[in-house]
Structure 1
Amino acid sequence: METPLLDLRDIRKTYPSDNGPLRVLDGVSVTLSARETLALTGESGSGKSTLLHLSGGLDQPDSGAVVLDGQDIGQLDDAARAHVRRMRIGLIFQQFNLVPSLSVGANIALQARLAGRHDKAFAADLAERLGLSALLSRYPEQLSGGQQQRVAIARALAPRPALLLADEPTGNLDEETGDRVLTLLLELVAETGAGLLMVTHSPRLADRLGRRVHLSRGGLGG
């Protein structure tokens, strides 16, 4: 049997609240293989984004294991987790998180340069396919929301990450634009061989991925 690219084992996560500890995740286990696409659905507050952040080493679980390519990244310190993210993980957030002082071209190249894998030809191909070739010298503030989201997708894919994590990647886009962006994202993920874990509130978009996991009240629901 193929070893999973990402193996989340019995994940528990609690946050403090005014009413005492709030358990957001209560024993969640999920696996994702290389080249697999997995939608993570659930109501607001069900723990979707928390699970995504744990998968990317942006936070640590209270207990359980976050195993990426055989390494439990949940047990690493901040610097080591940052290194794993830089080398192995692509992140796409709903808020884009582009660097305002960098041009579109520099934003796209940023993560690949940090990982030591900048490929000018591949970056140019990404820009062309995402409709950004004419915008490379512009800055984020000069772009529409849809254009910024496509830059964020190109930036995440440019280093050819093993794992791509996307939190509502089309949440700020109209339906037609969102559908086109998701189509391109799925095509590029397939071509680069990455595994994709995508948080979405939309059952329609979730149906376009290979598999779906639904979170409910901190656990896996139907």
Structure 2
Amino acid sequence: MILILSEVTKSYPTPEGRVEILRGINLAVRAGESVALTGESGSGKSTLLHLIGGLDRPDAGEIVMNGKYVSALGDDGRASYRRTDVGLVFQQFNLIPSLNVAANISFHAKLAGRFDKGWEDEITDRLGLRPLLNRYPEQLSGGQQQRVAIGRTLAARPPLVLADEPTGNLDEATGDAVMELMLSLARSAAATLLFVTHSTRLASRLDRKVILHGGRIGE
């Protein structure tokens, strides 16, 4: 197993008191597996991805990724973990406006010390981005920006890719195409994929589906 979560809990303070979001999450994911994480809005899917991605810390429980105890890392350790162990793809794209497409794609790979020109060329071609390499994010459509964001993440060959509804802002046809490209490239990179989606249609294309409900996971 590349990812193991044991009794992970998370709550947040509100004026009315603390609200429990995750109530003892247990999950194991095999290396190279693609997993759809589904559940109703507000069920904690994004919170769970943020914990696994090292963007936040759980209140209790353990998160172990590739033998690394993510839940025990300090700020510096989690920053290093995000550079080398995990790739994040969100709806907001989060491209760097001052960099062109080529520089955006290579940014994380260079930061992680994993820049590979041949792999980047393959990603660029398969995502259909070669004609856009000299453009800047503001000159791209939403679908083009999402493909750049996926390329940037996969160029660094992270062992684990976390995708938080990356096709949520795209029309159905574009979303389907982006999903297929992401799955194909993740397999080529031997990456494990955890994909948050509301779409049962998209979820059915992954190896397995888990459902988050009432702060717990079922299958």
Q: TM-score w.r.t. structure 2 length?
A: 0.98
Counterpart Cα distance in 2 of 1:218 and 1:174? 30
- 2: CA distance between counterparts of 1:163 and 1:196? 6
**Partner AA of 2:63 in structure 1:** V
Give the one of 165, 169, 172 matched to 1:172: 169
2: distance between equivalents of 1:139 and 1:197?
29
Calculate percent identity across the aligned residue pairs: 58
Match of 1:67 in 2: 64
Matched, 1:134 2:138: no
Matched, 1:27 2:24: yes
Cα separation, 1, equivalents of 2:68 and 2:167: 30
Structure 1 residue aligned with 2:189: 192
> How far is 1:71 from its partner?
1.4
**1:146 to 2:132 alignment:** no
Residue 33 of structure 1 deviates from its aligned partner by 1.2
Q: 2:77 aligns with which of 75, 80, 83?
A: 80
Alignment partner of 1:41 out of 23, 38, 41: 38
What are the Cα deviations for residues 161-195 of structure 1, in whole angstroms up to 9, with x where unaligned?
A: 10000000111111111111111111111111110
How far the C-alpha of 1:65 sits from its partner, in A, is 0.4
Q: Does 1:218 align with 2:215?
A: yes
Residue 120 of structure 1 and its aligned partner are, at CA, apart by 1.5
RMSD: 0.9
How far off is 1:17 after superposition? 1.0
Q: What residue identity is the alignment partner of 2:215?
A: G
> How far 1:87 moved relative to its partner?
0.8
Q: Aligned pair count?
A: 219
* 1:219 CA displacement: 1.2
Q: Which runs of 4+ in 1 moved over 2 A?
A: none
Counterpart for residue 157 of structure 1: 154
The whole-number CA distance in structure 2 between the counterparts of 1:34 and 1:188 is 15
CA distance in 2, matches of 1:166, 1:53: 10
Is there any run of 5+ residues in structure 1 with no aligned partner, and where?
none
Gaps of 5+ in 2: none
What amino acid does structure 1 have at the position aligned with 2:139? Q
Paired AA for residue 154 in structure 2: L
Residues 102-156 of structure 1: CA deviation (Å, up to 9, x unaligned) = 0000000000000011111211211111011000000000000000000000000
- Name the SS of the counterpart of 1:146 in structure 2: helix
Partner in structure 1 of residue 93 of structure 2: 96
1:68-127 per-position Cα deviation (integer Å, ceiling 9, x unaligned): 111111111011111011011111011000000000000000000000111112112111
| Partner residue, 1:183 | 180
